[in-house]
Structure 1
Amino acid sequence: MAKQFESIDARLKDFIDRQHIFFTASATGDSRVNISPRETGCLRVIDANTVVYLDRTGSGNETAAHLRADGRLTIMFCAVEGPPMILRLYGRGRAIRRDSSEYENILISHYDGQEPSGARQIILLDIDLVQTSCGFGVPLFDYKAERPSLDQWTDAKGPGGIEIYRREKNSYSMDGLPTGMFDEA
């Protein structure tokens, strides 16, 4: 049932493009495992072995801390409509800071220079294994829309409020690992 591939081919990219949600999973040897849902509008397939996603401010910043300490990252998509399938992208990731030229270049080349409200970093995954599995156990759901809550929250805080919030809530993981968001460049 499970099949492994070295990279994302056209069929798998088409599957990714049709999804509305994906999940990121990260951990270190000594930390809790973190799994986070993300909306696929922020994800881009750069090439057959590289994906990025614009990461927005949230209640924590576990992924960045885990990537800094360990680097392992898995991204999972599962079909909740249409034919069943689960797709996992395994590899090594890193957080790209907002104040870097690399961030700016990716934003321009893959997001038409448009940054969503509350964007805090770009996460890049260098893929070393792609795996599909049946997805027979994934329930069917109907997609309605993206929630407006995050946009409303970040807009209400404003740039200064977001900066304060990130320093308070996004500088360290729940296990005390530094995220690197505010290290000297």
Structure 2
Amino acid sequence: MRGFCCSSSRGECYLVYDFVTGGTLYILIWKMEVKMCLSFLIGFPSSRAMQKGLRYLQSNEASKPTMVHQNILVEKVLLDNQFNPLIMDAGFPKLLADDNVYSAPKVGAAMGYLALEYITTGRITETSDVYAFGVIVLQVLSGKTTVRGSIRMAVEFLRFDDFVDTNLKKKYSKLEAAILSKIAVMCIHKLSEQRPKW
């Protein structure tokens, strides 16, 4: 994000981002050619870049406070012309604090990306964004908008053809699919303390 401007009298905020030509990750996965989605997965440099950005938010680098994004979903990941991800709304995450609760309007918008601790207590943890990241990785791999329990079982038994996007027509690296899906399943563990840290 380059900057923002908020008007308290009108109750509006404007966010200013770099112009990106690649659209959103949502468009890449569900609206564009399968080959483009496959190129996003090869070596998964884009997921590493997204993970790096989220790790920065939660770090104490440059004397900034620790932050949790809280609202990561495929529609909020912009892509430049080389498919490098830019995370939208990263300028307005809530500060990580014991008394922070998730706002009701956001919950409806991000359902499916929310970790169990969000849903049950309304509290954020440092691994709440990790959960959303895992959901996004499984969405990219499966080409599906919802991630179901059957995907976890397929990952455990290394049955990638059962959940990897059928449009890929088995033209993907099973080794990369194994690595990515195992990482993603660890990220969506229901216990926040069992999820990987950035």
TM-score between the two structures when normalised by the length of structure 2: 0.29
User: Per residue, is there more helix in 1 or in 2?
Assistant: 2
User: Per residue, is there more strand in 1 or in 2?
Assistant: 1
Higher relative CO (CA 8 A, sep ≥ 6), structure 1 or 2? 1
TM-score between the two structures when normalised by the length of structure 1: 0.30
